[in-house]
Structures are given as structure tokens and as C-alpha cells.
Amino acid sequence: MFVVDENVAVAMVPEAPPPRRPWARRVMRGGVPYLYLAPALILLVVWTYQPLVQAFQLSTYSWNLLPSSPMTPVGAANYERLLELPAFRGSLVRTGVLIAGLLPFTVLLPVLVALASRRVSGRARTVYHAVVFAPFLVAPVAAAAVWRWLLHPGTGFVGRVLGSQRNWVFESGSAHGVIIGISGWQLLGFAVLVVWAGLAGISADYDEAARVDGASPRQIRRWITLPLLRPTLMFLVLTTVLLTPTLTFPLIDAMTQGGPAQATTNIYYLLWDYAFHSFDAGISAAAGVLLFLGFAVIAGILVWISEKVSFHDD
């Protein structure tokens, strides 16, 4: 377009579009990653946070799980009643004993087994790894059936080897130890696999440098390998503390049903028993909420310690 002014032609440049606002550009750029995360976030909300909210709401009602029965609001009465029950306090103690009993199987023994596997080479190492990991692949219900047969008084293999007629599964003095032993036998393979992964992440340059300086294999393990494995070991401790009550549930339900005399009833099995044996959904939900809050605090402490350990190693 031209405008003539005093016989001079001047070109009119079209106006440029207004620049996009900086904040809008930042919002669009920052929102792209969340589009990729949206499916996972939706599933997390639907399958984790929504049930938690519903469990908290249910813990404030009295209900027997029947659709035809009304839900009666009781406020915090379920929590008060739960804290007064001796069975609840006893289940907390047994849960702590269970976790403490499994820690050697998930932390100490895996380190020893993984370090010993370094001395095995060739095909023998593959067989060694398979034998160690195989128990973890056995279904808990199948493992419970086999071990009940092995521990059967009189006719079981364990009783014949030890020359004992003891009913290992249905005596309160030994039932909890049986659950710990079988659970540890199954979890050992997984823990060894995690330690193997941790050892694979340690550079061989550390060992070579230590050998050049005259360090012995024992000194290398003590002052180099084990300190570098601390984040891995903290992960195993965290996994054992958080997942032990749930991982042992199928074994307890198949072998002892929480007995004898609640000797194997941990906090997770107790809240299931309240819901589906006593049909008290409110108190079961209250136990679940307290379980979640308690383990959340423990997990936070362990994660904090793990971060401190990792920072110190760096």
C-alpha cells in the first residue's frame, strides 16, 4: 500500500502481531511434562488417594458391611475403642517382632550371599543365582502348603530330622518363628538381587586403587564396598519395614489364620480380621488409617536417613 504525500511514495509496513505474553509461554512450556504424567497421576489419585480418603471417612462410621444396613456416624469413637483393645496393642508388638526377625534375612544374609557369589564364576554362578532366587518365585499359598507338610508333627520331614513331635505351626511358642523363617526364606532371593544390583553399580576402580595401596580383600569390603552399599541397604530396610505386614498376609492366612491364640496376628491381618470376620468396617478402617499414618512417619524417617547417607557418600 502506498500513500502519496508531496509526490513522494511511502511504503506502509503492516503492523506486526502483538508479542505473546511471557507468562502464557511459561505456563504452556511448564504444562507439557504434566500431560505425559497425567495418566499416572490419574491412576494414583483413583487407586491410592481416593481409597485413603474413603477409608478415613469410613473410620468415622459404624457399619457391618451389609448394603441394607445404615452407616451410623460415630466420630472418633472407633479410634478410641481400637486403642483400648489389647488385641491391637499386641498386634503392634508382633508386627515389630516380625520386622525385626526379617531384617537379618533381607539385609545381613543377602550381603553375605552376594559377596560370596563373587567367588563363583562361569555356569556355576548362573546356577547359584537361580537357586538363591527360586524361593521368591514360589507362590505364598503353595509355599504354605509345602511347609505345613514338612512341619507336620510326627510325619513331617523336619520332625523326623530333629526327632521332635512338636506341632511347629499350631503352638504359640513356635508359630511366629515359623512365619518369620518361611517369609525370610522367600524374601532372601529378592534381597540378594537388590544387593547384586548395588554391587554392580560400584565401580571396580575403587577396588583396584585400594589394591594398589596395599589393602587386603577384607579391608576393601569393610572400608569401601560396605559404605558404598549403604543406600542399597537402607532401601532394603525401608522395603522390609513397609511391606512385611502385607507380604506375610497370604502365608499367615494359609497356615495359621492368625493363631494360635493370635500368636501370628500382625496389624495388617488384624484389620482384615475386623472387617471380614467381625464385620466391623469402621474399626477396621480406623486400624488401616493408623497403620498408614504410622508407617508414613517411619518411612519419612528412613527416607531422611537414606538421603543423609547418600549425601555423605557423595
Backbone angles phi, psi at 62, to 5 degrees: -110, 120
% of the chain exceeding 90 in pLDDT? 18
Asked if residue 1 has pLDDT above 50, the reply is no
- Segment 58-71 mean pLDDT: 87
Give the pLDDT of residue 103: 93
Grid cell of 73 as nine digits: 456416624
- Segment 72-99 mean pLDDT: 90
Bigger pLDDT: 215 vs 143: 143
Grid cell of 67 as nine digits: 448394603
pLDDT in tens, 230-254: 888 988 998 898 888 888 998 999 8
Backbone angles phi, psi at 72, to 5 degrees: -100, 120
Give the pLDDT of residue 305: 82
Asked if residue 312 has pLDDT above 80, the reply is no
- Segment 126-142 mean pLDDT: 85
- Segment 61-81 mean pLDDT: 88
Give the pLDDT of residue 100: 93
Where does residue 286 rank: exposed (0-12), middle (13-18), buried (19+ CB within 10 A)? Answer: buried
- Segment 81-93 mean pLDDT: 89
CATH for 87-313 is: 1.10.3720.10
**What is the sign of the dihedral through the CA atoms of 266, 272, 276 and 278?**
positive
pLDDT in tens, 143-191: 888 888 888 887 778 878 777 778 888 888 888 999 999 999 999 989 9
Q: Say how far apart CA 298 and CA 238 lie, in whole Å.
A: 9
Bigger pLDDT: 12 vs 306: 306
Grid cell of 14 as nine digits: 503492516
